[in-house]
Chains A and B, each alone.
Chain A
Amino acid sequence: MTNLTNLPSEPFPAIVFPTPGQTMRRRTLAHWGFLLGAGVLVILLAASLLAPLLAPYDPYQQDLVHRLVNPVWYADGTWSHPLGTDGLGRDYLSRLLYGGRISLLIGVTAMSISGLIGSSLGIAAGYFGGRVDTVVSFLVTTRLALPVILVALAIVALVGGSLPMVIMVLGLLIWDRFAVVMRSSTQQLRSADFISAAQATGCSTLRIIIRELLPNIMNNLIVVATLAMSRAILLEAALSYLGMGVQPPLPSWGLMIAEGKEFMFFTPWLIVIPGTVLFLMVLSINLMGDGIRDITAPEGRS
């Protein structure tokens, strides 16, 4: 080996394979959709969380002398109300900032409830198969047959609209996709060698599911979670717009659009502004979800 002639005098540099973490970081930084989504979401998140510091006014404080003041880009707009005021003279920017908290709160909590229900059902169906699978599939089919918006409207209207109620109802209604995706992901791994090995060493079922299975289907879980979050945010906005979700005077974006609708022919920005922010929030969550799917499972990209 040492007598070979063409070798350079120095030893070859060892081939360094990128660690999984490095690969992931490289893919993340190359994925503009993920970066854009994450960037916008971080801004919206920071703006909502810091609302008490950033908001120039109390979002509930009415000022009937200064009703429907135009935003600053209008000729008669002023910097004292950068985004104008609504029909009751409340500062629109302050309401918008506090409204973000409601959307995010509902998105995260409704997603968690539905995620808990849906993933438990889906993993059980995929892992145990047989009768359990039949029952879960039946539950999913039945759930899909019920029109979400109509059932949510009816329940919230009959029981009475409040923030916890809306969260509860949405959480109990939108678990279907969790169940479907977790079921098929679990099925794919069910007969993998590392599951059999864990079974052979005598691990309990719960331990196998939590320690072996869950980490391997986590990426799919996160992707479905982002979808559920944006779905919950959109549904809350629609319910509040129809007057059967979050109740006034809470500054929910859907409610702001409903209140602005009265004046939409003269002051269209009253509905354009909250709608745009709502759209941006959902868009950024979806872009992040798509990005996570691409980054964690590049072989699945089409």
Chain B
Amino acid sequence: MLQYSLKRICLALLVAVTVSFLSFMLVRVSGDPAFALAGENASESELAMVRQQYGLDRPVLVQYFDWAGRALHGDLGQSPYFKEHVVVIIGHRLQVTMILGLSALAFALILSIPLGVVAAIRPNTWIDRLALGLSVFGQAMPSFWFGLILILIFSVKLRWFPVSGSTSWRHLVLPTIALGYYGIPAFMRLTRSGMMDVLSSDYIRTARAKGLRAASVIFKHALRNAIIPVVSVVAVQLGFMLGGSVVIESVFAINGFGLLAYESIARADLPMIQAIVLILSLIYVVLTLLADILNALLDPRIRVS
């Protein structure tokens, strides 16, 4: 277990370093970042000043190590737009998005796991078909459009929920659905196939033969084992949802991390873009690391291979 964890942590560290280099280089794809920082009509002397101020006249690798070194101390630079430390602003906005992401995740799990279980117990019935149809539809739905349609139906027509903003829990209902439905197909398919595998295994037959109640067989014996693969996908999906918040927060005008990302990109706030890509990637790396280790704890077969 220890050996597996150490190996996994080393890989995560290596990925983290690579990702940090990529997010550093990202803002240099268009060439000289001084143009973006100084504005379109900057004169040559202004450009030179910006280059000096941000240290852009040094070799790229030196700049990277400088940036990464500061990042390790929690300093990701200053935003030229906010005139404040990037980390302070991001920390604020990340809270909103975390709440949105977690509630979307909870919404997806609450809907998909029972559906997956029922679909596995009664394969090829109408409820199984319904579940399959739901996941096929869900995968084809453009998330931003789904959000707009939710607004049209529930805010404009029925007036149940506000159109946009993030001041009360009622503001979060529609974005939660729009962001959460995205995870439903994956969770449901995994729960269903996991349950199908487990239900045909010997120990379930034994449990049934002992005369245990059906509910106890399904929930105590089967679901516990069937749910293991879902655990790792939960982490991955939470990562996707935080990424997807860029789109959903723009649709619902929620003042979170995603909207900050979108606005920073629109105003070419380079230090902010670097920091956001880095933080989102690192969250994903940490989440998948935790999921893998948790998985190995739950399922000893993973550790050995």
What is A's interface to B at a CB cutoff of 8 Å? 138, 141-142, 144-151, 153-155, 157-160, 230, 234, 237-238, 241-244, 254, 257, 261, 264-265, 268, 271-272, 275, 278-279, 282-283, 286-287, 290, 302
Contact = CB atoms under 8 A, between A and B. Distances in A.
Given A154-B27, A242-B247, 8 more contacts: A157-B268, A242-B246, A257-B144, A268-B156, A272-B152, A279-B142, A283-B140, A286-B140
B29 A158 contact: yes
5 contacts: A149-B246, A237-B142, A242-B246, A271-B152, A286-B139
Interface of B: 11, 14-15, 18-19, 22-23, 26-27, 29-30, 36, 136-137, 139-145, 148-149, 151-152, 156, 192-193, 196, 239, 242-244, 246-247, 250, 261-262, 265-266, 268, 273, 276-277, 280-281, 284-285, 288
B19 A149 contact: no
A141 B15 contact: yes
A149 B277 CA distance: 10
A279 B140 contact: yes
Contact of B243 (A148, A282, A287, A302): A148
A244 B143 CA distance: 16
Mostly, the B contact residues are: helix
What 9 A-B pairs have minimum CB-CB distances, sorted nearest first? A147-B243, A283-B140, A275-B145, A282-B140, A158-B30, A145-B281, A157-B265, A159-B30, A147-B280
Given A138-B15, A257-B145, A275-B148, A150 B261 contact: yes
Given A144-B284, A242-B262, A154 B26 contact: yes
Given A147-B281, A278-B142, A238 B15 contact: no
Nearest to A278: B142
Contacts of B244: 149
A257 B152 CA distance: 13
B266 A157 contact: yes
B265 A154 contact: yes
Mostly, the A contact residues are: helix
A302 B128 CA distance: 12
Contacts of B239: 147
A275 B136 contact: no
Nearest to B264: A154
B277 A147 contact: yes
Contacts of A144: 284, 288
Contacts of A242: 144, 246-247, 250, 262
Contacts of B26: 151, 154-155
Contacts of A286: 136, 139-140
Contacts of A257: 144-145, 148
A269 B86 CA distance: 41
Contacts of A271: 145, 148-149, 152
A287 B136 contact: yes
Contact of B265 (A138, A234, A244, A265): A244
A238 B140 contact: no
A272 B280 CA distance: 32
Given A148-B243, A159-B29, A283-B136, A241 B273 contact: no
Given A149-B247, A151-B277, A234-B142, A142 B18 contact: yes
B142 A275 contact: yes
Which of B137, B246, B265, B266 has the most C-beta atoms of chain A within 10 angstroms of its own C-beta?
Answer: B265
A279 B145 contact: yes
Which of B36, B141, B242 has the most C-beta atoms of chain A within 10 angstroms of its own C-beta?
Answer: B141
A271 B145 CA distance: 8
Nearest to B273: A154
A150 B243 contact: yes
B15 A241 contact: no
A150 B148 contact: no
A279 B136 contact: no
